[in-house]
Amino acid sequence: MRFLPATGGFRSSYHYNNGMITAAGHVIEILSGQSWEDTLQGTFFEPLGMTDSRFTDRLTEEDYDNMATPYFNEENGEPRTVSKEIFGYKKAL
């Protein structure tokens, strides 16, 4: 991680970083002895009553239909939607 370029000054801005989330998840798995998914479910989602929230890499048709539409910002700042099919589940026609 030390070789990645900074996206802003120290504590001057926020920028989501998948690499850091992945690293944090790995550390949590090692320290807790549970998967990242089970830790999120038991520590956050269930205690907060978030019965329709979960972390999964195994999508069902129900998950697909209830998933937020992902997007990214173009260079000009305009949002662009991304096909949900990139997540590996192709909805039956």
User: Rounded CA gap, 80 and 70, in Å?
Assistant: 9
Element (H, E) at 81: strand 79-81
- Domain limits of the chain? 17-55, 57-93
| Sequence-ordered list of residues with C-beta below 8 angstroms from that of 7, at least 6 positions apart, any chain | 13, 15, 17
| pLDDT tens-digit readout, 32-85 | 999 888 998 899 999 999 988 877 666 677 777 777 777 888 889 888 888 766
The helix or strand, by DSSP H or E, that contains position 72, with its residue range, turns out to be strand 71-73
Q: How many residues does the chain have?
A: 93
Q: Is the pTM of this model over 0.85?
A: no
